[in-house]
Amino acid sequence: MRNVVVLLTCLGLMVTAQVLWKSALSRVGVVDVMSSSLPSRILLLARSWRILGGLIMFGLATVLWFDLLSRWELSLLYPFMSLSYVFAFLAGWIFLGEHPQPLRIMGILVIILGIVLVSRSAP
């Protein structure tokens, strides 16, 4: 049970970081790495609490990931990380107003099926 709580917390932190970053980028605009405006965009992002908060959350998620890696087999653990796709899909829909499309929904269902199959092989 402990490992499941740590895994879900890790996933929650990762997805929350991505939502914060997407929110910050929506305010700044396109970050084109080939553009001459890149330095000014990076400065704008560096001043954003959303970027900083996302970095902190991602750092905490990394520490939790280390904990999980020290306890589980990588071949069992890593497929569970695909739950981040499911959570990000839901977060984009709920918090960012993104519209779910039928093919994406089918893809999410396939991911969930894969997780169910992998979980059945857990000791």
The token pair that represents 17 in the structure block: 């970081």
Q: Determine the pLDDT at residue 25.
A: 92
Crossing angle of the two packed helices 83-95 and 2-28, in degrees rounded to 10: 50
Look at residue 33 and give its three-state secondary structure.
Answer: coil
Q: Determine the pLDDT at residue 57.
A: 98
Q: Determine the pLDDT at residue 123.
A: 66
Q: Determine the pLDDT at residue 70.
A: 96
pLDDT tens, residue order, the chain (123 aa): 898 999 999 999 999 999 999 999 998 888 888 888 889 889 989 999 999 999 999 999 999 999 999 999 898 888 889 999 999 999 999 999 999 999 999 999 999 999 999 888 876
User: How far apart are alpha carbons 40 and 47 in whole angstroms?
Assistant: 11
Q: Determine the pLDDT at residue 29.
A: 84
User: How far apart are alpha carbons 119 and 75 in whole angstroms?
Assistant: 11
What are the Cα distances from residue 40, in Å, to 7, 54, 59, 96, 114? 37, 20, 25, 25, 42
For the chain, where are the alpha helices, taking DSSP H only? 2-28, 38-46, 49-69, 74-80, 83-95, 102-119
Kindly report the pTM of this predicted structure: 0.86
